[in-house]
Amino acid sequence: MIKTETKKTKKQIIIEEAATLFREKGYSATTMRDIAAKVGVEAASLYNHIKSKEQILSKICFSLADTYTSKMNLIVATDDTPIAKITELLFVHIEINAMSSPLASVMNDEWRHLTEPERSEFLDQRRTYENQFISIIKAGIADESLIDMDPKIALYTMLSSIRWLQHWYHANREMEVDSLKNTIISLLLKGIQNK
Amino acid sequence: MIKTETKKTKKQIIIEEAATLFREKGYSATTMRDIAAKVGVEAASLYNHIKSKEQILSKICFSLADTYTSKMNLIVATDDTPIAKITELLFVHIEINAMSSPLASVMNDEWRHLTEPERSEFLDQRRTYENQFISIIKAGIADESLIDMDPKIALYTMLSSIRWLQHWYHANREMEVDSLKNTIISLLLKGIQNK
DNA sequence: TATATTAACTAACATTTGTTAGTTTTGAAT
DNA sequence: ATTCAAAACTAACAAATGTTAGTTAATATA
């Protein structure tokens, strides 16, 4: 079969519907029959397209993890200032968490239901990403564009601060994405205090 | 039986062990038999102390929600400046998320498995809390101690930024809690950018 | 049209799940 | 020592779960 890019494969549809359910109810509380009903098919028919329930989760986690990884590699390769790099990375996180589907919620909250060896692979990939991010923060501290602080705390606080978007934003679409971006970035760079 | 405060009731033990498991594996993936094994008892014996699995979750969510609510009421009643109030509230959040048991994780991540009417009650209580917090932020914007920004974005970003502690901190106990507090508060008030 | 592959279906499976029933053990108060 | 309630136990349940087997319908290729 020729795969055109306009038409989604059934596998993709299954993964997307599953992701929506995983975000709503969590991985464990979502049954194959739930997913099948959303797709419009019997539960057993899902297995013509996917190998197992866990493979669906795996595909979700790694597809988004790969997106983050490749973005990071692009940004690392530039000779932007540390602050410019961080700003760009935060843009990526905001965009993915605010806009992109339920994938972000699922990757962030349900990865722990992966079994070995996928679980370790996922954590390795995440650790690599975090280390790259921390190097950028350290470079910013070194050239004194950032205040002297624990880079790990700074990283986790920044990344964590964006996570609420994945739960809240799709219910509050009235906010403009660009103003959202600017508000959050300004908050993280300059804080909330006046002067 | 006389309830002394030094000795935990079996019900409390069950709830604590359950909370640990709910944080590790999630509510749905935790079975009554898992909990029973941790308590050192058969699954059926749990029902001499608790009414249902969901009641355990309910107790966890509301006990911590009540802690937040009463802290908020204390702080609202003072005549501190908005920034002082916000700082104090953030201290509370940091302390609870970093120190206090698995309750925080469970309340934050597993409340959606509550069924009605508990689910709505919980959400009502949370909304009330958030509205009180937002009022404080608005007061700070009004007296120009805070920069002019969307109070909702500021609130969610700040509260969300602290959540990583519940997942990460108990694995990284070497950090001092006080320095952790100060770093995060400074980051949120003044940002990461130098000058 | 004939053929071969893809993907749907029904039926059933072996486990696992939360929970109840009924019984025995424990331990404190009389 | 006897009593009685609290709390443990064993056994079992009905429902739900992920998945497989076997079969039929749909669709693309020859």
- The pLDDT-based confidence of A99 (bands split at 50, 70, 90) is confident
Instruction: Give chain D positions with protein CB within 7 A.
Output: 6-12, 16-22, 28-29
Residue A144 buriedness (CB in 10 A; 0-12 / 13-18 / 19+)? exposed
Model confidence at A4: pLDDT above 50:
no
Over range B131-151, report the average pLDDT. 94
- The pLDDT-based confidence of A169 (bands split at 50, 70, 90) is low
Instruction: Identify the pLDDT of residue B182.
Output: 87
How far is B101 from B124, CA to CA, in rounded Å?
24
Tens digit of each residue's pLDDT (9 = 90 or more) over B8-35: 888 999 999 999 999 999 999 999 999 9
Nearest nucleotide by C1' from B51 CA? C19
Instruction: Identify the pLDDT of residue B175.
Output: 65
A157/B154 touch (CB, cutoff 8 Å), yes or no? no
Over range A68-79, report the average pLDDT. 96
Answer whether any strand C atom is within 7 A of the Cβ of B49. Answer: no
Alpha-carbon distances, residue A137 vs A73, A154, A168 (angstroms): 15, 8, 28
Model confidence at A5: pLDDT above 60:
no
CB A156 within 8 Å of CB A133:
no
- The pLDDT-based confidence of B171 (bands split at 50, 70, 90) is low
Residues of A in contact with B102 (CB under 8 A): none
User: A17 CA, D29 C1': separation in Å?
Assistant: 31
| Best CA proximity match to A189, nearest among A78, A89, A74 | A89
Q: State the nearest Cα–Cα gap between A13 and chain B, in angstroms.
A: 25
Residues of B in contact with A29 (CB under 8 A): 27-28, 113
Average pLDDT, chain A: 90
The arrangement of secondary structure in A53-190, i.e. its CATH architecture, is Orthogonal Bundle (1.10)
Model confidence at B2: pLDDT above 60:
no
Q: Which one-letter amino acid corresponds to residue A169? A: Y
Place of tokens 């997307």: A16
Instruction: Identify the pLDDT of residue A171.
Output: 60
User: B46 CA, D12 C1': separation in Å?
Assistant: 17
Model confidence at B170: pLDDT above 80:
no
Which chain B residue is nearest to residue A190, measuring alpha carbons?
A: B191
User: B178 CA, D7 C1': separation in Å?
Assistant: 44
A149/B192 touch (CB, cutoff 8 Å), yes or no? yes
- The pLDDT-based confidence of B38 (bands split at 50, 70, 90) is very high
Instruction: Identify the pLDDT of residue A3.
Output: 36
Q: Which one-letter amino acid corresponds to residue A57? A: L
B176-179: long-range pairs with CB below 8 Å, 24+: B177/B95, B177/B98, B177/B99, B179/A150
